[in-house]
Structure 1
């Protein structure tokens, strides 16, 4: 397999996470209305997502190439840690400092802010040229540095900032 294949898988997984982020957040929120804890609901939804990733990796390994399934599995785990788990956990910690919410509520607001960060990061990724043209991968020099730092900040701080905005909006209504 060539290096371009791994990059293509990384892009597919990343944009798959962008598309899945609102589904995961809304499903966890909806499930939490029937459970005592948002963390338990999020764990259930995450387990289903892991099962789907495993099914896709197994299908790739069985029908395409075992290496393709392995690469997809490794990239999916890495992307999930970098684009989902770390930002939500970091957002939860920041919301814990910025608000008077308990741990479960900060997790809820960080999770509900996560899709906003993911969609914003996808928009920034394709911003240099749109969907049909160049994206951030084609930038060089200072433009590339600024673009990548902006993406890192949006992905890392986005769940906390969007969660805080949602919290403030809810508090004003109540």
Structure 2
């Protein structure tokens, strides 16, 4: 399998996660309004997303090439862990330390902050040259180091920071006079 194919697959999966992040977050939030526990709602939405990724991998394996399906599956799992699972769980931990939220509420705020981090990281990825020209993959030296470190920080800390901002808006604007919990 050619390295260019794997790289193209990685870019496709990463930008797919950017597009899917608001859908996943809002669907989990909508489901959680019908239950007492956000984690269950998020688990239901994630199970559906995993099913869609598995169906895409199987379709690639059957209709294109088994190696293409396997490559897509491996890249999708790796990207989901690096761009979704770890940042949201890390965001939940940070929000639990920074606020008086319990673990489930912190998970909700981190999940709702995740799309902000994903869209920001996508914008930073294409920022050097726009959609039609260059992205951070074409940078070299110090510029590449700064760009990649910025992306890592945005992806890792973004759900916590955006979730904290949302928490502050909810506590100060939506529920005025209630103060922080």
TM-score (norm 2): 0.96
Matched, 1:13 2:13: yes
Gapped regions of structure 1 (runs ≥ 5): none
Note the C-alpha offset of 1:36.
1.4
Q: Structure 2: how far apart are the matches of 1:83 and 1:35?
A: 27
Note the C-alpha offset of 1:61.
0.1
Q: Structure 2: how far apart are the matches of 1:161 and 1:121?
A: 14
Matched, 1:170 2:167: no
Q: Structure 2: how far apart are the matches of 1:36 and 1:67?
A: 42
1:59-138 alignment to 2 at 5 Å?
59-138=59-138
2:179 match: none
1:24-35 alignment to 2 at 5 Å?
24-35=24-35
User: Moved runs in structure 1, 4+ residues, more than 4 A?
Assistant: none
Alignment deviations for residues 15-38 of structure 1 (CA, whole Å, 9 cap, x no partner): 000000000000000000011100
1:41 match: 41
Alignment deviations for residues 123-172 of structure 1 (CA, whole Å, 9 cap, x no partner): 00000000000000000000000000000000000000000000000001
1:23 match: 23
2:58 match: 58
Q: Structure 1: how far apart are the matches of 2:83 and 2:14?
A: 8
Q: Structure 1: how far apart are the matches of 2:60 and 2:99?
A: 44
Note the C-alpha offset of 1:105.
0.3
Matched, 1:158 2:180: no
CA RMSD of aligned residues (A): 0.3
- What SS does structure 2 have at the residue aligned with 1:133? coil
For these two proteins, the number of residue pairs brought into alignment is 174
